[in-house]
Amino acid sequence: MKVNCDKEGIEKASKVIEDGGIVIFPTDTVYGIGCNPYSKESAKKVYEIKSRDFSKPFPVLVYSKEIASQIAEFDEISEKLVEKFWPGQLTILLKLKDEKLKESLNLSDKIALRVPNHKCTLSLLEKCHYLIGTSANVSGQPSFFDPQECIKSVENYDVFVDGGTITSKGESTIIAIEDGKIKIIREGSLSKEEILKV
């Protein structure tokens, strides 16, 4: 099923997520694929669609910092960073305090979180709060900006939310805070310099 980024489309997509389905959606970086992160079965399906190694944990998209702090712990540095870069293209590894998510996503004690800066994704997250948010492509293949290309290339999902062509500088930048220092895990559209300035 293909829906638009409007009220009706968001309603349908959020219902599918609630029922354990898999959704492809636009973000401020690339087209993403995801599901309810509390459903182990749904997460397993996303791994299979992407041919992704089960040892690589998925990042989770959240609606806001307030919602993120219900499942993860922030320190002074991470507080400052998300204040500046959320919503936006910063994914941050934080200490996970939600045992259910540890179980469903097979995580140890850290989770990668991000608030995307995209109206459509935020409307979806407003309804479901959390969403596995990984790029909608087979692992190792390029990410998609064009909805038509994405539809042709990815299979076995339940709903495609069409947000048109995405114009972005690419993937999000992933960071962790270790011993009070910022560690860049993957440099994406946010540069190391921009982050270290904070």
The Cα 1–Cα 160 span in angstroms is 6
Counting residues of the chain whose pLDDT is more than 90, the rounded percentage is 94
The Cα 137–Cα 140 span in angstroms is 8
Domains of the chain in start order, with CATH, are 2-197 (3.90.870.10)
Q: What is the DSSP letter of 19?
A: T
Lowest mean pLDDT among 12-16, 53-57, 161-165: 53-57
For the cut 90, the answer to whether the pLDDT of residue 169 exceeds it is no
- H or E, element range at 171: none
φ, ψ at 178 (rounded to 5°): -125, 125
For the cut 90, the answer to whether the pLDDT of residue 4 exceeds it is yes
Mean pLDDT value across residues 99-124: 96
pTM for the structure as a whole: 0.95
* Residue that the structure tokens 């599918």 belong to: 16
The Cα 55–Cα 96 span in angstroms is 17
For the cut 90, the answer to whether the pLDDT of residue 109 exceeds it is yes
The Cα 195–Cα 177 span in angstroms is 12
Confidence of residue 197 (pLDDT cuts 50, 70, 90): confident
Mean pLDDT value across residues 72-99: 96
The Cα 17–Cα 23 span in angstroms is 7
Q: Which two tokens stand for residue 103?
A: 């179980």
